[in-house]
Amino acid sequence: MREWIGPRISVLLASTLACTLAAAACSAGEKQPVDAEAVGGSIVIAAQNEPRTLLPPLITQIDEKIIADQIFEPLAVLGDEGHLDHDYRPGLADSWSWESDSTAIVFHLNTKARWQDGKPVRASDVRFTFGLYTDSIVGFKDRSSLARIDSVTARDSVTAVFWFKNRYAEQFYDAATRLLIVPEHLLAREPRATLLTSAFGRKPVGSGRFRLGKWTPNASIELVADTANYHGRPNLDRVVFAVTTDPTALPTRITTGEIDLAEVSSPVMFRTLKEQPDLRARMNPSYDYSFLLFNARKPRQRQQPNALFADIGLRRAVSMGLDRAKLVRSQFDSLAVVSTGPMTRAQPLADSTIATIGYDSAGAARLLDSLGWTLPAGKTVRERRGQPLKFAVLVPTISSNRMTLIVAIQESLRKLGMEVVVDAVGGNTFVARLGARDFDVVFDGRHVEPSVAGLRAYWSVASARDANGLNFGNYENPRFDAHLDSALAARDLASARPHAKQAFETIVADVPAVWIYETRTATLMHKRIKPVHIVSTAWWAGIADWSIPAAERLPRDRVGLRVASR
Partner 1 sequence: MRRFLARRLAHGAAVIFIAASLSFLLVHLAPGDPFSTTLDSVSINPSVKAAWRAAYGLDRPLLEQYFRFLGQLARGNLGPSLLQPGPASTALADAVPNTLLLMGTALVLSFVIGIGVGSWQAARAGSRGDRAAGNVSLVVASLPEFWLAAVLLLVFAYRFRVFPAAGVVDLVMHDSLSPAGRLLDRLRHLALPALTLSLLGSASIARYQRAALLDVLPQDFIRTARAKGVTDRLVLWRHALRNALVPTIVLLGLSLPTLLGGAVFVEQVFSWPGLGRLAAAAFHARDYQVVIGATIMGAVLVVVGGILADLLHAAVDPRVRAQ
Partner 2 sequence: MASSAPDRGGAFDRAGGASPWRSALATLARDRSAMAGLAILAALAVIALAAPYVAPYDPRAQPDIVTLKYLPPTLAHPFGTDQLSRDVLSRIIFGSRVSLSVAFLGVAVAVTVGTGYGAIAGYLGGKLDGFMMRVVDALLSIPRVLLLIAVATLWNGLELAGLVLLLGLTGWFGVSRLVRTLVLSAREDEFVTAARALGATHTRILIHHILPQVVSPVLVAATLAIGNVIVMEAGLTFLGMGVRPPNASWGSIVYDGRDVAAAWWISISGGAALVITVLAVNLLADGLREALNARQLPAR
Residues that bind partner 1 (CB under 8 A): 42, 44, 50, 52-53, 60, 136-137, 139-141, 193-194, 196-197, 201-202, 216-220, 222, 238, 240, 242-246, 248-249, 251-253, 255-256, 258, 397-398, 426-429, 431-432, 434-436, 468, 470, 555-556, 559-560, 563-564, 566
Specify the residue, 269 or 500, whose C-beta has the smaller distance to partner 2: 269
* DSSP H or E run through 305: none
The rounded distance, in Å, linking the Cα atoms of 498 and 436 is 35
The rounded distance, in Å, linking the Cα atoms of 373 and 397 is 31
CA-to-CA dists, residue 478 to 305, 311, 456, 490, 561, angstroms: 18, 18, 11, 18, 58
Indicate the SS3 state at residue 531: coil
The one segment of 92-100, 263-271, 441-449, 503-511 that binds partner 2 by CB under 8 A: 263-271
Instruction: State the binding partner of 220 from partner 2, partner 1, none, CB within 5 to 8 A by kind.
Output: partner 1
Residues 172, 85 contacting (CB under 8 angstroms): yes
300 binds partner 2 (CB under 8 A): no
Specify the residue, 171 or 331, whose C-beta has the smaller distance to partner 2: 331
CA-to-CA dists, residue 315 to 131, 306, 511, angstroms: 42, 12, 7
Q: What are phi and psi of 315, to 5 degrees?
A: -60, -40
Specify the residue, 185 or 556, whose C-beta has the smaller distance to partner 1: 556
Instruction: State the binding partner of 12 from partner 1, partner 2, none, CB within 5 to 8 A by kind.
Output: none
Q: Tell me the three-class secondary structure of 126-146, residue by residue.
A: HHHHHHHHHCCCCCCCCHHHH
34 binds partner 2 (CB under 8 A): no
Instruction: State the binding partner of 272 from partner 1, partner 2, none, CB within 5 to 8 A by kind.
Output: partner 2
530: DSSP letter: B
How many Cα atoms within 13 Å fall on the side-chain side of residue 29? 19
Footprint on residues 208-247 left by partner 2 (CB under 8 A):
247
The one segment of 229-237, 261-269, 335-343, 380-388 that binds partner 2 by CB under 8 A: 261-269
Can you name the residues that pair with 390 across neighbouring β-strands? 419
Specify the residue, 53 or 110, whose C-beta has the smaller distance to partner 1: 53
248 binds partner 2 (CB under 8 A): yes
272 binds partner 2 (CB under 8 A): yes
Burial degree of 256 (CB within 10 A; 0-12, 13-18, 19+): exposed
- Per-residue binding string, partner 2, 360-399, x by CB under 8 A, is -------------------------------------x--
Query: Please, where are the H alpha helices in 291-444?
Result: 312-320, 324-332, 361-371, 400-415, 427-436
252 binds partner 2 (CB under 8 A): yes
Length of the chain: 566
Least gap, CB of 427 to partner 1 (angstroms): 6
Specify the residue, 55 or 513, whose C-beta has the smaller distance to partner 1: 55
